[in-house]
């Protein structure tokens, strides 16, 4: 089934559990159609896990990658990595965390790390948090005895050229990565080299792995989650200790608010602290961060590819940054071309249509957000048009919009959210930015082991996040409204 089919015939019912989204051997999402399926996935219940044919590749090791691992490990538990340097860093991380690890001899370009039982958790943490993974396409080629594409260098160059156009920078300011988290990892290394041993700060509620990266692979991270007082908190923190950098998502996920860069940037400049920005939710089509960010670490897996069947990331060295020459030299010195050629080929082809698609995403997202906001079954809607709107407007491009990621909380959410989610006739699973609408109970998926902590930061466990696709918005709204109406009907206060 193609992505176009998923717009018309979404995978949303119980029988769809575990189905790849889209129906491709390289799909990066999978169907979790019921609330209880998400809980079962997080609790590793066999009745859910055994149905999965794939998953988000940093969290669920792809079957083709598992096959490569079996061949490389020759009976030893291991995972493959795309370079010797990455394998060495993985071994070091595992051993710092009490496990035993061995980098196995390379075989046809892949470098496996084998572990004892005590190293299992750390191996999977390295794979998940750093994003320095072997893609399903690379695994497929390795198993078939194929090398990378003959035109891989040219394809990556074309992709960098397109990204440079989106970010108003030179082509050599763009450094490609195998995933968005790998881009974050490389940015973290760059700022850590500038101020070794210094901690970083996260400005706003974090995407889970971005903050874990700072905690586990940096010198530690401070969390400043209250956007209403973030400039004041940052000023106090910056005076108390020299920071290596600050990380910020513009806007944040899932509450779609943004730290006020107009107030934050002068503080950071005074203290010589770089800002690493994540623009995945807004995209460079909608926001211009060149007046504030020193590095942009972004995922190409989401809106740039759109089809949910390729992974990729990029670090953008902002030429307008006062640290441009220094940071770019550090990134370049460490950089390896780890984005597999056939993944880059998909990303490059899809990037050509990204601006046109993003305009349509913006229009559909705003239309659905406005209707959700007016619906009697909905307690609250989070969307950049209204969340810290002046802050977002300060970086919004002329002609840019507010994206298509929406989070909402139904009324009487403890009882109605699961029912509404189950009845939503849209695809349901992890990821965002897809041409087909994709929903998930975000807090459960991202913070299942720390739900009380998330709620202490204002992020309810009952939220539903909606990545609006390119369906006809009236047809999509009819499907959503049917689920919301059922939520009202089943509510104890109806």
Rounded Cα distance between 134 and 69, Å, is 10
* Beta-ladder partners of 314: 176, 298
Same domain? For 328 and 414 the reply is no
Q: What is the domain count for the chain?
A: 3
Same domain? For 69 and 40 the reply is no
Mark which of 351, 368, 400 sits at the end of a domain: 351
Instruction: Report the predicted TM-score, pTM, of the whole model to 2 decimal places.
Output: 0.96
Exposed e or buried b per residue across 211-221, where buried means at least 16 C-beta atoms within 10 angstroms of its C-beta: bbbbebbbbeb
Same domain? For 275 and 301 the reply is yes
Question: Among 186, 110, 112, which residue's Cα sits nearest to residue 148?
Answer: 110
For residues 274 and 295, is the Cβ–Cβ distance under 8 A?
yes
pLDDT of residue 153: 98
Rounded Cα distance between 123 and 142, Å, is 21
pLDDT band at 486 (very low <50, low <70, confident <90, very high): confident
Same domain? For 474 and 387 the reply is yes
In a domain, 12, yes or no: yes
Q: What is the pLDDT of residues 427-477, one digit of tens each?
A: 999 999 999 999 999 999 999 999 999 999 999 999 999 999 999 999 999
Q: How many CB atoms lie within 10 A of CB 228?
A: 10
Q: Which domain holds residue 88?
A: 63-134
Rounded Cα distance between 163 and 32, Å, is 32
Query: What are the backbone angles phi and psi of residue 348, rounded to the nearest 5°?
Result: -65, -45
Rounded Cα distance between 186 and 471, Å, is 36
Same domain? For 205 and 343 the reply is yes
**Tokens 């206060």 sit at which residue?**
493
In a domain, 139, yes or no: no
Q: What is the pLDDT of residues 6-64, one digit of tens each?
A: 999 999 999 999 999 999 999 999 999 999 999 999 999 999 999 999 999 999 999 99
Same domain? For 450 and 369 the reply is yes
In a domain, 145, yes or no: no
Q: What is the pLDDT of residues 203-248, one digit of tens each?
A: 999 988 999 999 999 999 999 999 999 999 999 999 999 999 999 9
pLDDT of residue 274: 98
In a domain, 188, yes or no: yes
Q: What is the pLDDT of residues 376-404, one digit of tens each?
A: 999 999 999 999 999 999 999 999 999 99
pLDDT band at 249 (very low <50, low <70, confident <90, very high): very high
Mark which of 351, 377, 394 sits at the end of a domain: 351
Same domain? For 74 and 111 the reply is yes
Same domain? For 388 and 273 the reply is no
Rounded Cα distance between 464 and 275, Å, is 30
Helices (H), ranges, 144-260: 152-167, 180-194, 208-217, 230-240
**Helix (H/G/I), strand (E/B), else coil: 220:** coil
Same domain? For 167 and 247 the reply is yes
In a domain, 204, yes or no: yes
Same domain? For 170 and 24 the reply is no
Same domain? For 83 and 206 the reply is no
């Amino acid at each position: 089934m193609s992505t176009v089919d998923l717009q018309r015939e979404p995978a949303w019912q119980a029988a769809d559990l575990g189905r790849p989204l889209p129906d491709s051997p390289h799909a990066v999402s999978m169907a979790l159609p019921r609330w209880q399926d998400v809980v079962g996935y997080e609790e590793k219940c066999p009745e859910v896990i055994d149905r999965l044919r794939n998953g988000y590749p940093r969290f669920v090791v792809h079957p083709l990658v598992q096959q490569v691992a079996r061949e490389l490990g020759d009976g030893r538990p291991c995972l493959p990595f795309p370079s010797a340097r990455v394998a060495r860093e993985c071994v070091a991380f595992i051993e710092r965390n009490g496990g035993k690890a061995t980098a196995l001899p390379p075989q046809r370009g892949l470098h496996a790390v084998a572990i004892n039982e005590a190293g299992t958790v750390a191996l999977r943490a390295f794979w998940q948090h750093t994003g320095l993974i072997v893609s399903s396409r690379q695994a497929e080629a390795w198993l078939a005895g194929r090398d990378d594409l003959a035109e891989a260098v040219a394809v990556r160059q074309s992709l960098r050229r397109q990204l440079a156009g989106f970010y108003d920078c030179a082509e050599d300011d763009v450094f490609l990565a195998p995933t968005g988290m790998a881009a974050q990892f490389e940015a973290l290394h760059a700022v850590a080299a500038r101020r070794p041993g210094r901690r970083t700060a996260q400005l706003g509620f974090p995407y889970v792995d971005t903050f874990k990266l700072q905690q586990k692979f940096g010198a530690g991270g401070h969390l400043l989650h209250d956007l209403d007082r973030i400039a004041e908190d940052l000023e106090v923190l910056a005076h108390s200790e020299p920071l290596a950098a600050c990380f910020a998502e513009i806007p944040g996920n899932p509450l779609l608010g943004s730290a006020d860069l107009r107030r934050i940037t002068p503080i950071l400049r005074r203290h010589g602290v770089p800002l690493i920005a994540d623009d995945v939710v807004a995209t460079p089509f909608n926001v211009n961060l060149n007046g504030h960010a020193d590095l942009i670490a972004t995922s190409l897996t989401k809106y740039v590819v759109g089809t949910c069947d390729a992974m990729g990331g990029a670090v953008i060295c902002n030429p307008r940054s006062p640290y441009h020459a220094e940071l770019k030299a550090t990134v370049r010195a460490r950089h390896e071309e780890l984005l597999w050629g056939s993944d880059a080929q998909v990303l490059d082809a899809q990037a050509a249509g990204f601006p046109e698609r993003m305009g349509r995403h913006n229009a559909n997202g705003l239309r659905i957000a406005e209707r959700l906001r007016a619906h009697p079954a909905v307690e609250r809607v989070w969307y950049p048009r209204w969340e810290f709107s002046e802050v977002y407007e300060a970086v919004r491009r002329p002609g840019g919009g507010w994206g298509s990621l929406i989070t909402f909380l139904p009324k009487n959410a403890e009882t109605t959210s699961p029912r509404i989610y189950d009845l939503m006739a849209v695809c349901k699973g992890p990821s965002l930015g897809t041409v087909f609408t994709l929903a998930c109970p975000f807090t459960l998926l991202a913070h299942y082991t720390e739900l009380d902590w998330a709620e202490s930061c204002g992020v309810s466990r009952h939220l539903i996040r909606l990545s609006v696709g390119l369906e006809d918005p009236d047809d999509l709204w009819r499907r959503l409204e049917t689920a919301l109406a059922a939520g009202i009907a089943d509510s104890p206060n109806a």
